[in-house]
């Protein structure tokens, strides 16, 4: 089942080819592990060191004396429970808003086809072409005083939730997936007397699980990784996300505590990744260029 | 109840022509279409409202902001004065030089490294899952974590990188502290953090190349480099050019990495990028007009690349 690549199987089958293959393989394996896991290893172990040991040169590879208490101290001193809780709250809220509003919009644009639907879709896709950073300033001014409703959203969760819906890429991904659902299936539901909402719930959504999974993961990870927007719009330390909170506390705690905090902050997204890696990787390649 | 809504969705949008109201059959059809549209727009309304407030309105506002300024608590039309202000600001030219340097370096590293890595990974028949996982791992780290890690590695005193350089007999570097290496250091960190996505996309593209092409090249006596040049690159050209444009668009907007690594401007402004400058104008000096003007300049430049990107993706659709 191997597909042909640069190096021919005949070449690989020769003793010299086999030797070179395995040498290169082991080399790459070691180098990649060092380059990509090494920093994480350093982060975890440095979080275990005492301040004296952390500052020592040359650095110790394995902590001479492990202080797991650093993690508990960092947790308490930096109030990580609060920061993680905030981030989770924002992420789940953004997920809910995106799933409900973006799925509904994509379904409407794909299957209900309202008048001017293509214009609306086009206007949504245009936002993908405007560099996001250009919009940060006017977006910030907008949430300070939202027009018509005249609300200041700063320091409220809405400031994360509502703008997260304006994810044209998600809508596009979902619409393309819905487009691929055969018409007959929906027509059958309609003949059985199902309303559009019912059809969405009992026909479209169950088939769409893979794409919903991808969109959900990206929604949660997006909030978890965002930095500039929450830094601007959540200045209250009690309401900050883990990224912003750790950044603003970084200068005031010792290094070993800070590193312990970084490990704790990294765990949720790493766990999501390790659990959902197949979804993430397929979504990444499906959405990026076939789109 | 609303069963026909779906089965008649092929009907043309309602055209309230005078004739429609007269014939009862047409009137029924019109009401049907109206109902169908009301339902369809009902599904859209939440997203459209969000887009209106948080995307479309800010887009329009950005344009007006660039031509306005605050004077004695009132907003007045400023004409081109915000633009003349930023063009006369020495930081403007420095920011553009730095951004172009960053984009250039990021293309050398951030564009080439993932492609080479993908080429290498694609050759392995073992452990591909693990290697792919490794490469994508940093993408999932919160930026604060990866950036602060690199800050420690770059430390000229106890930093890991100078230890490694010392171990192989190379002189210590100042990394982020020196104007010569600050930008390169930022690019190295950014590449490590972000290369996973590009690598996986290249890998997918490489796996789509038909093996017969390589066989044919071998019959012609092509070595590995010639196979890359004559088969791999032409076969992945579209993906490569799309990624190139995406890289340019993304790196021109770089913010988080220099902001967290060097506090924004870096030594003597060596890592002050255009978006850093937008941020400074807006949130340090409260000069929204200049920030918006600079944003528009960036927008116009990036529009060229975006347009090229859209054209290319159309080609790839066909």
Q: Which residues of A touch B227 (CB under 8 A)?
A: 6
User: Alpha carbon of A124 to those of A48, A101, A113, A128, B202: distances in Å?
Assistant: 48, 13, 15, 8, 28
Residue range B70-85: mean pLDDT, rounded: 81
pLDDT value at position A161? 95
Chain segment B115-174, per-residue pLDDT in tens: 999 999 988 888 888 998 999 999 889 988 998 899 888 888 777 888 888 888 888 888
**C-alpha dihedral sign at B245, B250, B251, B253:** positive
User: Alpha carbon of A35 to those of A120, A267, B72, B117: distances in Å?
Assistant: 45, 19, 55, 13
CB contact under 8 A, A288 and B260: no
Residue A193 is classified by DSSP as T
pLDDT value at position B123? 87
3-state secondary structure chain B: CCCHHHHCCCCCCCCCCHHHHHCHHHHHHHHHHHHHHHHHHHHHHHHHHHHHHHHHHHHHHHHHHHCEEEECCEEEECCCHHHHHHHCCHHHHHHHHHHHHHHHHHHHHHHHHHHHHHHHHHHCCCCHHHHHHHHHHHHHCCHHHHHHHHHHHHCCCCCHHHHHHHHCCCCCCCHHHCCCCHHHHHHHHHHHHHHHHHHHHHHHHHHCCCHHHHHHHHHCCCCHHHHHHHHHHHHCHHHHHHHHHHHHHHHHCCCHHHHHHHCCCCHHHCCCCHHHHHHHHHHHCCCHHHHHHHHHHHHHHHHHHHHHHHHHHHHHHC
CA dist., res. A108 & res. A197, Å (int): 10
CB contact under 8 A, A33 and B46: no
Q: Which two tokens stand for residue B89?
A: 């600001």
CB contact under 8 A, A130 and B299: yes
Count CB pairs under 8 A between chains A and B: 298
**C-alpha dihedral sign at A24, A28, A29, A34:** positive
CB contact under 8 A, A165 and B212: no
pLDDT value at position B286? 87
Q: Which residues of A touch B43 (CB under 8 A)?
A: 104-105, 107-108, 112, 196
Q: Which residues of B touch A178 (CB under 8 A)?
A: none
Q: Omega before A58 cis (within 30°)?
A: yes
pLDDT value at position B174? 83
Distance linking the first and last C-alpha atoms of chain B: 41
Whether chain B has a CB inside 8 Å of the CB on A41: the answer is: no
Q: Which two tokens stand for residue A135?
A: 């919009």
Whether chain B has a CB inside 8 Å of the CB on A44: the answer is: no
User: Alpha carbon of B108 to those of A64, B115, B164, B257, B312: distances in Å?
Assistant: 40, 11, 23, 17, 22
Chain segment B240-264, per-residue pLDDT in tens: 888 888 888 888 888 888 888 887 7
pLDDT value at position A291? 34
Question: Is ipTM beyond 0.90?
Answer: no
Does the pLDDT of residue B4 top 60, yes or no?
A: no
Tell me the whole-structure pTM to 2 decimals: 0.85
CA dist., res. A136 & res. A138, Å (int): 6
pLDDT value at position A6? 78
CA distance A168 to chain B (A): 9
CA dist., res. B265 & res. B178, Å (int): 12
CB contact under 8 A, A187 and B7: yes
CA distance B179 to chain A (A): 23
B40: pLDDT confidence band, cut at 50, 70 and 90? confident
Nearest-by-CA chain A residue for B37: A114
Q: Which residues of A touch B278 (CB under 8 A)?
A: 133-134, 136-137
Q: Which residues of B touch A163 (CB under 8 A)?
A: 50, 54-55
Does the pLDDT of residue B28 top 60, yes or no?
A: yes
pLDDT value at position B6? 42
pLDDT value at position A256? 86
Q: Give the number of other Cβ atoms within 10 Å of residue B148's Cβ.
A: 23
Q: Which residues of B touch A109 (CB under 8 A)?
A: 44
B54: pLDDT confidence band, cut at 50, 70 and 90? very high
Nearest-by-CA chain A residue for B47: A101
For chain A, residues with pLDDT lower than 50 are 1-2, 289-291
């Amino acid at each position: 089942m191997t597909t042909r690549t640069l190096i021919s199987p005949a070449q690989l089958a020769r003793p010299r080819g086999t030797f070179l293959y395995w040498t290169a393989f082991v080399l790459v394996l070691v180098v990649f592990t060092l380059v990509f896991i090494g920093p994480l290893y350093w982060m975890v172990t440095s979080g275990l060191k005492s301040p004296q040991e952390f500052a020592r040169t040359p650095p110790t590879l394995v902590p001479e004396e492990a202080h797991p208490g650093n993690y508990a101290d960092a947790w308490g001193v930096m109030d990580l429970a609060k920061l993680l809780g905030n981030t989770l709250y924002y992420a789940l809220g953004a997920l809910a808003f995106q799933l409900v509003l973006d799925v509904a919009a994509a379904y409407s644009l794909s299957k209900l086809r309202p008048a001017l639907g293509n214009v609306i879709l086009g206007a949504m896709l245009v936002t993908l072409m405007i560099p996001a950073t250009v919009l940060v300033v006017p977006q910030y001014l907008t949430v300070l005083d939202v027009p018509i409703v005249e609300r200041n959203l700063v320091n409220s969760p809405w400031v994360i939730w509502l703008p997260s819906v304006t994810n044209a890429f998600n809508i596009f991904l979902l619409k393309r997936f819905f487009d691929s659902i055969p018409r007959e299936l929906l027509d059958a539901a309609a003949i059985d007397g199902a309303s559009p909402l019912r059809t969405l719930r009992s026909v479209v959504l169950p088939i769409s699980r893979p794409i919903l999974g991808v969109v959900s993961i990206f929604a949660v990870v997006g909030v978890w990784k965002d930095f500039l927007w929450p830094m601007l719009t959540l200045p209250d330390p009690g309401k900050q996300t883990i990224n912003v909170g750790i950044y603003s506390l970084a200068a005031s705690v010792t290094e070993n505590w800070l590193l312990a905090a970084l490990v704790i902050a990294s765990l949720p997204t790493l766990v999501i990744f390790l659990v959902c890696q197949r979804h993430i990787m397929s979504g990444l390649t499906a959405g990026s260029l076939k789109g | 109840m609303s069963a026909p809504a779906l089965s008649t969705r092929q009907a043309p949008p309602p055209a309230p022509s005078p004739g429609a109201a007269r014939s009862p059959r047409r009137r029924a059809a019109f009401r049907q279409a109206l109902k169908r549209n009301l339902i369809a727009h009902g599904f859209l309304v939440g997203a459209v409202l969000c887009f209106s407030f948080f995307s479309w309105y800010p887009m329009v506002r950005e344009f007006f902001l660039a031509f306005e300024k605050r004077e004695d608590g009132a907003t007045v039309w400023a004409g081109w004065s915000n633009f003349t202000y930023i063009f006369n600001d020495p930081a403007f030219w420095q920011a553009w030089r730095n951004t172009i340097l960053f984009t250039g370096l990021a293309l050398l590293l951030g564009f080439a490294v993932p492609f080479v890595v993908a080429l290498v990974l694609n050759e392995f028949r073992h452990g591909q899952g693990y290697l792919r996982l490794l490469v994508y791992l940093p993408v999932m780290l919160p930026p604060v974590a990866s950036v602060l890690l690199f800050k420690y590695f770059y430390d000229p005193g106890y930093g890991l990188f100078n230890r490694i350089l010392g171990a192989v007999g190379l002189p210590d570097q100042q990394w982020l502290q020196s104007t010569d290496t600050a930008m390169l250091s930022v690019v190295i960190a950014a590449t490590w953090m972000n290369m996973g996505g590009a690598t996986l996309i290249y890998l997918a593209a490489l796996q789509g190349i038909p093996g017969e092409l390589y066989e044919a090249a071998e019959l012609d006596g092509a070595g590995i480099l010639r196979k890359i040049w004559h088969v791999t690159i032409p076969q992945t050209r579209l993906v490569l050019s799309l990624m190139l444009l995406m890289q340019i668009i993304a790196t021109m907007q770089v913010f988080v990495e220099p902001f967290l690594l060097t506090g924004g401007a870096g030594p003597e402004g060596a890592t002050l990028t255009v978006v850093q400058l937008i941020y400074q104008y807006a949130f340090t000096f409260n000069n929204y007009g200049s920030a918006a003007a600079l944003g528009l300049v960036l927008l116009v430049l990036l529009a060229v690349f975006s347009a090229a990107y859209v054209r290319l993706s159309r080609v790839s659709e066909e």
